[in-house]
Amino acid sequence: MLPRALLPLHALLLVTAIVAPACKPEGGTTSDTDATDSAATDTAATDTAATDTDATDSAATEPTTGDTAATDTDADTAATDTDTDTGGEACVSADPAATASIGINFGDWPVIDGEQQTITMAAACTVQTATAAAGKIDVALLCSEGEQVDVAITLNVTAPADFAIDIQSGQTVALDAYWQGEGHHSSEGEWFVLKAADTGAVLLAGVANESNYGVNEKLGALSVDTVEGVCPLPCGDDCFDSADPERVGFRFAHDEGPWVELLDGNRGEFLALGRKYDAVVSTAEKYYCLNCWSWYVWVMASVPA
């Protein structure tokens, strides 16, 4: 097939044939949803003689991870936040620096024809070159699976300038990748997960697609799930046919417990099993207009801690 490099790829704290009004240049639906977490409430005890009042907790300004807790102490009674699920919710503004994109050049890897064309691969690969400079990452691979032997595949990622990778030339890796062409009710999109062959650690992963479908099955001990209800709906109580998207987020988690939740346009990191995971959520938007779909762009990499 022809080479293709697709789609520009946005981090929170903690924390979803009739023609419709235009709301996004692609179409389709997604069912990638998480339950909305409720914000914790702090309470302070009241003295008999006088009343002590705690100041309202201020919203966190850094991504909150699973081992972070906040405690308010009154002069008479200590009250501890109990929101261990998300660490609190805040519709923080997007960080202009938290942008990312991915592209996959599948080279001569075969396209599966159907109502919607697709490419699916789960290949053993050898890294030919891996470069990272000023936020531009290029990884050239030779990949084999079944009858496909030593097919040249290239991963292209853009991220913040200090986004680091741990990939070396000559390294043996495993690549799971997917591409779908534009369909009747779905957009063109793709994703990939690159893991170290010896340890299974996720070295680099990225999504530019209408959903995360299929990605978690390839992430091993990691999972990436949507978090909704963080920001107010742009269309109030009636969202049946709105061209404005809801800002949602993602929860990046490791089986060992560490995690971070990032609203779109934000960046965060967490430590697990001796590795530091850096995630950038460039775009995470849920659309409500008829025949529209969600759109996600995120990248994640890990390096030794």
Residue 53 reports pLDDT greater than 80: no
Mean pLDDT (whole number) for 105-126: 95
Tell me the whole-structure pTM to 2 decimals. Answer: 0.71
Q: Is residue 216 part of a domain?
A: yes
Task: Quote the pLDDT of residue 182.
Answer: 81
pLDDT at 99 over 80: yes
Asked whether the predicted pLDDT for residue 112 surpasses 90, the reply is yes
| Block residue for tokens 């977490």 | 37
Is residue 263 in a domain?
Answer: yes
Instruction: Write out the residue range of the structural domain in which residue 278 sits.
Output: 96-304
Question: What is the pairing mode between strands 78-80 and 266-272?
Answer: unpaired
Is 29 part of any domain? no
pLDDT computed for residue 62 by the predictor:
43
User: Is 52 inside any structural domain?
Assistant: no
In a domain, 243, yes or no: yes
Other Cβ atoms within 10 Å of 50 Cβ, number? 8
Q: What pLDDT digit, counting tens, does each position of 190-246 carry?
A: 999 999 999 999 999 999 999 998 999 999 999 999 999 899 887 776 677 777 889
36 compared with 305, residue with greater pLDDT: 305
Q: Name the E strands within 168-286.
A: 172-180, 189-196, 202-209, 222-227, 246-247, 249-254, 259-263, 266-272, 275-286
Using the predicted structure, report yes or no on whether residue 127 has a pLDDT greater than 60: yes
Average confidence (pLDDT) over 129-153: 97
270: confidence class by pLDDT, cuts 50, 70, 90: very high
Calpha distance 169→127 (Å, rounded): 5
pLDDT attached to residue 183: 67
Residue 60 lies in a domain: no
User: Is 7 inside any structural domain?
Assistant: no
Q: Residue 69: its pLDDT value, please?
A: 36
Share of the chain above pLDDT 90, in %: 58
Q: Which pLDDT does position 237 carry in this prediction?
A: 67
Token duo for residue 190: 């793709």
- Minimum mean pLDDT among 45-59, 230-244, 270-284: which range? 45-59
Residue pair 9/158 in contact by the 8 Å Cβ criterion? yes
Q: Residue 118's closest CA among 137, 128, 104?
A: 104
- Rounded alpha-carbon distances, angstroms, from residue 47 to 41, 63, 77, 165, 213: 20, 36, 10, 55, 54
Query: What would the mean pLDDT of 32-49 be, rounded to a whole number?
Result: 37
Residue 114 lies in a domain: yes
| First vs last C-alpha separation in the chain | 39
Token pair belonging to 218: 């390839």
Taking Cα atoms as reference points, which of 257, 259, 282, 281 lies closest to residue 270? 259
Mean pLDDT of 107-113: 95
Give the count of domains, the chain: 1
pLDDT tops 70 at residue 289 = yes
Average pLDDT rounded to a whole number, residues 21-46: 37
Q: What string of DSSP letters covers 270-282? A: EEETTEEEEEEEE
If one compares 79 and 164, the residue with the highest pLDDT of the two is 164
Q: Which long-range contacts (CB under 8 A, 24 or more apart) does 187-192 make?
A: 187/26, 187/27, 187/28, 187/293, 187/295, 188/6, 188/7, 188/26, 189/6, 189/7, 189/26, 190/6, 190/7, 190/102, 190/104, 191/102, 191/215, 192/102, 192/104, 192/155
